[in-house]
Amino acid sequence: MQEAPASDHLSALSLSPHEHAFYGSEARIVAPDSYEELETIVRDAERERRHMIPAGLGAHAYLGNPPPGNVLVVSLRKLNRILRYEPGDFTVGVETGLTLSELRATLEANGQEIPLDLPSAARGTVGGLVAAAPSGLRRGRHGPVRAYVIGAHALRGGATRYKTGGMVVKNVAGYEVMKFLTGSLGTAGPIVEVNFKLRPLPERRAAHVAVFQDPDAAWRFADNLRSRGREPAAIWVLNDEARRQAPRMLESLNGDGVAVFWLFEGQSGRVAWQESQAGSILDEQAPSRHSAVSGSELDLLIDFLADFDSPGAGPRVDLAIAKLSALPNQIRHVQDEAQRVVLEAELAPATACDVLSGLVTLRWSPRRDATEANGLDRPIADLGRTLLAQQGTGTLLYLPPQVRQSHNYLLTPDANASLARRLLKVFDPNSVFCPEKLLGPGP
Amino acid sequence: MLFRRQPRSTVTSNPAGAGIYAELARWIPPERLVLDHSELKVYECDGLPLHKELPGAVALCASRQEVIAVVRWCNEKNVPFVPRGAGTGLSGGATPTARAVVLDLNRMNRVLHVDLQNRYAVVEPGVINIKLTHEVHADGFHYAPDPSSQKACTIGGNVAENAGGPHCLKYGMTTDHILGLEVVLPDGETARLSGPLAENSGYDLAGLFVGTEGTFGIVTEITVRLVPNPESIRTFLAIFPRMNLACRTVAEITRQGILPAALEILDQLTIRAVEASVFKAGYPQDAAAVLLIEIDGLDAGMDEEEQKIRQIAKENEAIEFRTARDETERLKLWKGRKGAFGAMGRVNTDLYVLDGVVPRTRLENVLNEVYEIAKRHGVTLANVFHAGDGNLHPNISYDGRDPDERSRVLLAGREILEACVRAGGSISGEHGIGLEKMDFMPLCFTEEDLQLQKDLRRAVDPRNLSNPAKIFPDSKSCVEVGKRHATLVPL
Ligand SMILES: Cc1cc2nc3c(=O)[nH]c(=O)nc-3n(C[C@H](O)[C@H](O)[C@H](O)COP(=O)(O)OP(=O)(O)OC[C@H]3O[C@@H](n4cnc5c(N)ncnc54)[C@H](O)[C@@H]3O)c2cc1C
C-alpha cells in the first residue's frame, strides 16, 4: 500500500500494548489527519487486500478474534473534535478519536452525561466505546450504548463515506444503520463521527455497599431490592474473590463474604427516600457490614466495577474474562454454575453480577502450564454448555494473547451468522475489515 | 376522490395474471383469502389516502406457517408482497404495490408469553398495542410506547415503523423496547434475532430490523420489554396566550434537567377542533396554545417537581396552570390530545398529517416558519406535537376534491419538511417514510447514504419482493425531487 501519506505518523506513533500483543509484531499503525487521508488508506488497503482495523487508542484491542498477521491499525485518534454541541438540544456530535475523558468533562461542565460509566474512561476513545459497546454500570436503568447513538458518519468498502441517522432524538428516516455499527468491533469499517443523545446529570447520587457472610442473604437482598427496591440505578453482587480484588482503599469492601453494591440517583428528596426504603429491605437480611459510599471512594468503586470486564492498560498472561448474559431471575444460578465450572479446574473465579441486566462478568487466572488442564479449555467448553442449557449467551472478553487464537470470541454460536455475514459484505465487500473478529472464521 | 399513481419502474411487475392468486387457497382457507374486487378496495391504502392501489389478493394470515407459505408462493411467482397490521400508518407503508399480495396479520394476535419477573412479553405481530398493556396492567406493568393510535395499531406495525408516542420522551421509542424478533425473511426463511437477554451474541440485527417498514420481511413474533407502572402520575395543563411561551416553557423544563413523561403542545386551531368534537377535553378555546405535561415515578419528590414546573410555566406567562385532580380528569385531558388527529379530520374532507423533527432549541423558530408557509400557500394548518422531543405534527385540513388546494397542500408539506431539515432536523420522527416521503429522502441523505441503505435492503431481499417501492426514491426522482406527486392523476 501507499505508505507515503502515513510515513510521518508511522514514526510518531506506536501500537498500544494490547495492539502489540494481540495483533503481532508485523502489525503497523497509521493515524490519518483528515477524512481524505483515511479514505486513501482504506482504498489502498482494499487494493492490496491488506487487513485493516479501525482503532482509537488501542484500549480494547484484546476484544474479538485476533486478526490475521500483517494487519494495519488505522487509529482515528487525530480525528478528535467536538463538532456539534448545543446543550439545550441534549445532543452532541463528535469525531470518534475524541477521548472519553474529554467528552465526559465537556458534558459534565454543562450538567449532562451519556449514562454509561464509560470503562477505561481515561484510556478509550468514543470510537472504541461505540465499536466495543461495553455494558456500563447502570445498564439496567439506562440501557445499552446503542440507545444513545442517534447518528453516525462512517466509511465502508470503496472508501465511501456515508451518514446514518441524524442530530435529533427522534428520527425514523431511513434504516438504523447505527445499530449494526454499535458493537461491531470495527468490522463494518471505520466510524468517523458519532452523534449521541444526552441526559441531565443526576442532582444527587447515593451509593451503598453491604457485605454478607451468607451468600444466600446477599442474593435475597439483591433480589428484593430489584423487585421492590424503588427504581435503583444499579445493583451489583460481587463474590468473595471479586471483593478481595478491589483496591484496598475501598474500605467499604473490606470484610469477608459477598458484597452488594447499589446506587440511586436523581432528585435529592427522592433519592433520600429511596435510600431509606432500601435500608429497610437491608435490615431484613443482617449484613456484616454496611456503608454509604461517596466522594472519591465512590469514584474509585465505580472505576473498579466499570473496569471489571477489562484486563487494564496492558496484556496479562494470567487472566481470562468472560461475560455471560442470562435472564435476571436466573443470574445467580448461572453465576453459581460458572463458578463451579471454573472451580472444577481448581481455580478461584471472581464474579461481578449486574443484577438488573442479568449480566455476569467472570474473571479467573488460568495456570501458566499450557497443558489440557491449563484452566482454559475445560472451563470454556463447560461455560458454553452451561449457557446453552440456560439459554444464555456469552463472550470471551479476554484471554491471554498466546491462547486467544484457540478459542472463539463468542461462547455461544450466533444462529444468524450467515445473515450477518451477508449484511457485513455490504460494508466490507473485500473482507479487509477483519470480518472474523466478531463472528469467527467464515464457513 | 381517488388518486392512482402511475406505474413506477421500480415496482416488480406481476407477470402472473389475475387468476393466479386463487392458488393461495392451497394454504389459506377461502374465508381468509380476499380476491374479490370490492373487498380488495378496503386494502388499497392505509391512513394516508393520498395514495391508493388495489392489491392482487389479501391473505388474512393466522400463523407463521401461513406467512411462510404465502411468502414462498410470492417468491415462486415473482409477486411482491406487503405486510399489513391495522393500516393506521400515515406514510403509505401498508399501501400495496400494484397487484401485490397483502399479508394481513391482524389474526396473529395472541400474547404468547408474559414473564413479569424478567419483565418481558412475547407477542404475535397483530396484537393491538393497548391490549398488551391491558393484559399486564393489573400486575403492575405496561408496554411503554404509546402512539396516539394505540387503541387500533398493532405491535407489528409499531416495530416496522419504530413508532413513537407522547411518553417516548421519557421511555424511548419502540426500538428501545424491542428485545427480540422472529422474522420471515423475504425468501421465506425464518430468523430469530436476539431475545429476552440483555446482551446477545454478534451484531444487533434486531435493532437494524426495527423501522425497516416491511422491507426486510415480515415480523411474526416480538419480544418486548415490560415497564413497571409508575407509583404516581401527575398531569397538568398549562395555558398560554402565545405559542412561543409554551415552547419556552418546554425548553426551560428540559434545561433544568427535569424529564417529564410527556410534554405535548396543541395550538389554537387544534384546541377548537378538539372542543368541537367527541374528544372534547375542556381546553380553553381562547388560548393560543396549551401544554399538556405529565410527570411520573416515585411519589417521593413529586411535589418538588410539580413546584418547579409550575414556577417555570408562571415565569413564561402561563395564564393558568391546571392539575388533573383524579384519573377521570387526567384521562379527559389525554382524550383531547390523543383524539386531536381525529378531531382535525372533521374540519374538512381530508387531512394531511405531517411529521417532522427539529432540535429542541429550534422549535420556536421552525414553528413560526411553519405558520408562515401555511399562510403563504393559503392552507388551513394546525399544530399538535410532541414538544419535548421536537417532533412536530402540522396537520393540514383540505378538500381533496379541489386539485388546486391539494397541490398547495403538498407544496406546503414539502416546504415544512425542508424547514425542519434546514434547522438540523429530519423528515420523520415516528410515522416513517413509506410512499409519502420517499422523494424527500435526498433532503436528509446523499446518494452514498441512500446507496448503503439500498444495498442493505438488497442483501436481505435480493429479489425486491418485500414491500417494494417504499422508502427509497427511484433514480429518476433522486434527481428531480418532488416530481412524483405531480404524477398523481385523478381516476
Ligand atoms: C389517529 C392516529 C394517530 C397516530 N399517532 C401516532 C403516534 O403518536 N406515534 C406514531 O409513531 N404513530 C402514530 N400513528 C401512525 C401509526 O399508527 C403507526 O405508524 C403504527 O405503528 C402503524 O401500525 P399499524 O398496525 O397500523 O401498521 P400498518 O399501517 O398496517 O403498517 C405500517 C407499516 O408496517 C409494515 N408492517 C405491518 N406489520 C408488519 C409486520 N408484522 N412485519 C413487517 N412489517 C409490518 C407495513 O408494511 C407498513 O409498512 C397514528 C396514526 C393515526 C391514524
Please answer yes or no on whether A175 and B211 come within 8 Å at the CB atom. yes
pTM above 0.90, yes or no: yes
Contact between residue B409 and residue B369 where contact means Cβ atoms under 8 Å apart: no
pLDDT digits (tens, 9 = 90+) for B177-188: 999 999 999 999
Looking at B176, B204, B229, the residue that finishes a domain is B229
Contact between residue B28 and residue B61 where contact means Cβ atoms under 8 Å apart: yes
The rounded distance, in Å, linking the Cα atoms of B421 and B485 is 20
What is the pLDDT tens value at each position of chain A, 443 positions in all? 334 343 444 445 899 999 999 999 899 999 999 999 999 999 999 999 999 999 999 999 999 999 988 899 999 999 999 999 999 999 999 999 999 999 999 999 999 999 987 655 567 899 999 999 988 899 999 999 999 999 999 999 999 999 999 999 999 999 999 999 999 999 999 999 999 999 999 999 999 999 999 999 999 999 999 988 689 999 999 999 999 999 888 888 988 999 999 999 999 999 999 999 999 999 999 899 999 999 999 999 998 998 899 998 899 988 999 999 999 999 999 999 999 988 887 778 999 999 999 999 999 988 765 455 567 888 888 899 988 888 899 999 999 998 998 999 999 988 899 999 999 999 999 999 999 999 988 77
Tell whether A145 lies on the interface with B, counting CB pairs under 8 A: no
Looking at B197, B229, B261, the residue that finishes a domain is B229
Please answer yes or no on whether B176 and A175 come within 8 Å at the CB atom. no
Residue of A nearest to B117 (CA): A329
Ligand 1 centre to CA of A101 (Å) is 41
Distance from CA of A282 to the nearest CA of B (A): 20
Average pLDDT score over chain B: 91
Q: Are residues B198 and B238 in the same domain?
A: no
Q: Are residues B86 and B108 in the same domain?
A: yes
What average pLDDT score do residues B216-234 get? 97
Q: Are residues B60 and B182 in the same domain?
A: yes
Question: Whose alpha carbon is nearest atom 44 of ligand 1?
Answer: B214
- CATH number, domain with residue B45: 3.30.465.10
The rounded distance, in Å, linking the Cα atoms of A50 and A1 is 8
The rounded distance, in Å, linking the Cα atoms of A137 and A139 is 6
The rounded distance, in Å, linking the Cα atoms of A230 and A126 is 32
Please answer yes or no on whether A176 and B208 come within 8 Å at the CB atom. yes
Distance from CA of B152 to the nearest CA of A (A): 21
Q: Which residues of A touch B429 (CB under 8 A)?
A: 168, 170-172
Residue of A nearest to B210 (CA): A176
pLDDT digits (tens, 9 = 90+) for B396-411: 999 989 999 999 999 9
Which of B191, B255, B389 is nearest residue A169 as measured by Cβ atoms?
A: B389
A365 or B248, greater pLDDT:
B248
Grid coordinates of B171: 421511555
Q: Are residues B225 and B135 in the same domain?
A: yes
Ligand 1 centre to CA of B470 (Å) is 14
Q: Are residues B314 and B376 in the same domain?
A: no
pLDDT digits (tens, 9 = 90+) for B430-456: 999 999 999 999 999 999 999 999 999
Q: Are residues B205 and B115 in the same domain?
A: yes
Please answer yes or no on whether B204 and A180 come within 8 Å at the CB atom. yes
- Mutation to probe ligand 1, out of B44, B67, B84, B351 (largest number of atoms < 8 A from CB): B84
What's the confidence (pLDDT) of residue B55?
96
What average pLDDT score do residues B108-124 get? 97
Looking at B179, B198, B229, the residue that finishes a domain is B229
From the CA of B159, give the closest atom in ligand 1: 21
List residues near ligand 1 (CB under 6 A): B 46-47, 82-90, 93-94, 105, 125, 147-149, 153-154, 156-158, 160-161, 163-165, 213-214, 218-219, 341-342, 430-431, 467
Q: Are residues B50 and B106 in the same domain?
A: yes
Which of A162, A166, A328 is nearest residue B452 as measured by Cβ atoms?
A: A162
Please answer yes or no on whether B437 and A173 come within 8 Å at the CB atom. yes
pLDDT digits (tens, 9 = 90+) for B149-174: 999 999 999 999 999 999 999 999 99
What average pLDDT score do residues B93-105 get? 95
**Segments forming the whole domain that contains residue B407:** 347-463+472-490
Distance from CA of A223 to the nearest CA of B (A): 10
Q: Are residues B36 and B157 in the same domain?
A: yes
What's the confidence (pLDDT) of residue A79?
97
Q: Are residues B329 and B388 in the same domain?
A: no
B360 — pLDDT class (breaks 50, 70, 90): very high
Q: Are residues B26 and B55 in the same domain?
A: yes
What's the ipTM? 0.94
Please answer yes or no on whether A393 and B201 come within 8 Å at the CB atom. yes
Distance from CA of B443 to the nearest CA of A (A): 10
- CATH number, domain with residue B441: 3.30.70.2740
What's the confidence (pLDDT) of residue A378?
84
Which of A163, A169, A325 is nearest residue B449 as measured by Cβ atoms?
A: A163
Please answer yes or no on whether B456 and A327 come within 8 Å at the CB atom. no
Which of A139, A143, A180 is nearest residue B176 as measured by Cβ atoms?
A: A143
Sign of CA dihedral A418, A423, A424, A426: positive
- CATH number, domain with residue B289: 3.30.70.2190
B476 — pLDDT class (breaks 50, 70, 90): very low
Please answer yes or no on whether B426 and A415 come within 8 Å at the CB atom. no
- Tell me the percentage of chain B whose pLDDT exceeds 70: 93
Q: Are residues B43 and B128 in the same domain?
A: yes
Q: Are residues B203 and B242 in the same domain?
A: no
Which of B207, B298, B445 is nearest residue A146 as measured by Cβ atoms?
A: B207
Q: Three-class SS string for chain B?
A: CCEECCCCCCCCCCCCCHHHHHHHHHCCCHHHEECCHHHHHHHCCCCCCCCECCCCEEEECCCHHHHHHHHHHHHHHCCCEEEECCCCCCCCCCCCCCCCEEEECCCCCCEEEEECCCCEEEECCCCEHHHHHHHHHCCCEECCCCCCCCCCCEHHHHHHHCCCCCCHHHHCCHHHHEEEEEEECCCCCEEEEECCCCCCCCCCHHHHHCCCCCCCCEEEEEEEECEECCCEEEEEEEEECCHHHHHHHHHHHHHCCCCCCEEEEEEHHHHHHHHCCCCCCCCCCCCCEEEEEEEEECCCCHHHHHHHHHHHHHHCCCCEEEECCCHHHHHHHHHHHHCHHHHHCCCCCEEEECCEECCHHHHHHHHHHHHHHHHHHCCEEEEEEEHHHCEECEEEEECCCCHHHHHHHHHHHHHHHHHHHHCCCECCCCCCCCCCCHHHHHHHCCHHHHHHHHHHHHHHCCCCCECCCCCCCCHHHHHCCCCHHHHCEEC
A385 by Cβ neighbours in 10 Å (0-12 / 13-18 / 19+) ranks as: middle
Question: Whose alpha carbon is nearest atom 15 of ligand 1?
Answer: B89
Interface of B with A in 16-75 (CB under 8 A): none
The rounded distance, in Å, linking the Cα atoms of B309 and B315 is 10
Count up the domains in chain B and report the number: 3
